[in-house]
Amino acid sequence: MFAIPASFWLSLYFISFFFIWGVFLPFWGIWLSGKGMSSESIGLFFSVGLLLRFVSNLTLLPMVSSAKSTLRLLRILGFFTVLAFALLLFFNGYMWLAGITLVANFMMGPLAPLGDLIGARLVNQIQLDYGRVRLWGSLSFIVGSTSVGWLIVGLGNDAILWSIMGAALIMWLLSLLNLSPQLHDQIDLNLDEKKSLFTLFKRPSVLFFLIIVGSIQGSHGAFYAFGTIHWNAIGLSGVSIAWLWAIGVFAEILLMRFNKKLFINWSIKQMLLLGLIAAIIRWLVFSVSDDFYVLAIFQTFHALTFAVTHLAAIRYISLQKNAEMVSYQSLYSAVALGLMMAGFTYLSGLFYEELHGYIFLIMSLLLMPVFWCIKRWKAE
């Protein structure tokens, strides 16, 4: 079978997956609404979908026991993702829309972590510059969300489903290709070495890791859920809000492009400390400022609060024993990026009506104890 360079393959994989994500997250609710779904039903589907992505990360990722099984699971999930969306061309009843939407969420949950896991393996295997590969995913997210926004104007809501199906098909076809060099395990996996998720979770070092990265990433929940609403409420125009979002993503892309030069001599704890300090400052400024230019300056901190934190987490995962790498990735994706993000988002929703922009101040205050966690954490 045709083989392509592993780093190029991973770039293409991130491009196809995050294009799907860039369409699905902002526009799937619009597509469901066009099919007659109520706002209450759409909200329920998205909430249950988040829970299902959490469950699939905890249940499916631990099934990966070797380098080959990583690609095998990716191929299976990719195929059923294409199939799920293709079925919507023929079935549009309420139960079909609900069932397929939830199945798609379950199938897509592990797809990004599987890409990160392959990246972590390639960091060890060929000294892959993960940031330079991952930046294509961030860029593709922007292309997906903006291009489909324009396509909807000309072609209607059907452009949403067809765009997702096309990208999902490309992603699945990519998974069928061989990588050069092929993924391999550093050592033969011994079943006795493999640790359950619960066993790993009881380790103080793992628990501190999840609390640290989960708190920093989770604090973004208030921003993702209410950032646009807050900026609109303080009088910023739609164009200004769009620019603020774009500035954040482009800052992230720029940092990932040069991350190896910037952080080659930094420790994981130093990177996480930078992400923490930047998050506290960023949310504090967002809570008190309504000036576009001030917000634009501190929106560039997204490169530090999200990208640096994520790069540090992937570096930490890549340093683990081969037999435990999947379990670390599973916990990071499910607990830090899933459960804790959901918790911060839910907390923000409870108090936003009363606090409005000051909800970001709460995010800053909630991050203060993380300094103590970083100090106590013994990174392995």
The pLDDT, as a whole number, for residue 188 is 45
The pLDDT, as a whole number, for residue 201 is 78
Cα 363 to Cα 361: distance, rounded to the nearest angstrom: 5
Give just the sign of the alpha carbon dihedral 172, 173, 174, 176.
positive
pTM above 0.75, yes or no: yes
Low-confidence residues of the chain: pLDDT under 50: 187-192
Q: What is the pLDDT of residues 245-299, one digit of tens each?
A: 888 888 999 998 898 889 989 999 999 999 999 999 999 999 999 999 999 999 9
SS3 call for 128: coil
The size of the chain, in residues, is 380
Residues facing 180 on adjacent strands: 5
Cα 196 to Cα 200: distance, rounded to the nearest angstrom: 6
Give just the sign of the alpha carbon dihedral 339, 68, 22, 254.
positive
* In contact, 336 and 329? CB cutoff 8 Å: no
Q: Which of 32, 197, 178 is nearest to 104 (CA)?
A: 32
Cα 56 to Cα 60: distance, rounded to the nearest angstrom: 5
The pLDDT, as a whole number, for residue 380 is 60
By the 10 Å C-beta count (0-12 exposed, 13-18 middle, 19+ buried), 191 is classed as exposed
* Ordered domains of the chain (ranges, CATH): 3-180 (1.20.1250.20), 197-376 (1.20.1250.20)
The pLDDT, as a whole number, for residue 191 is 45
* In contact, 193 and 321? CB cutoff 8 Å: yes
The identity of residue 221, as a single letter, is G
Q: What is the pLDDT of residues 81-98, one digit of tens each?
A: 999 999 999 988 889 999
Q: CA torsion 137→53→273→371, rounded to 10°? A: 170
Q: How many CB atoms lie within 10 A of CB 13?
A: 26
Q: What is the pLDDT of residues 228-242, one digit of tens each?
A: 788 888 998 877 887
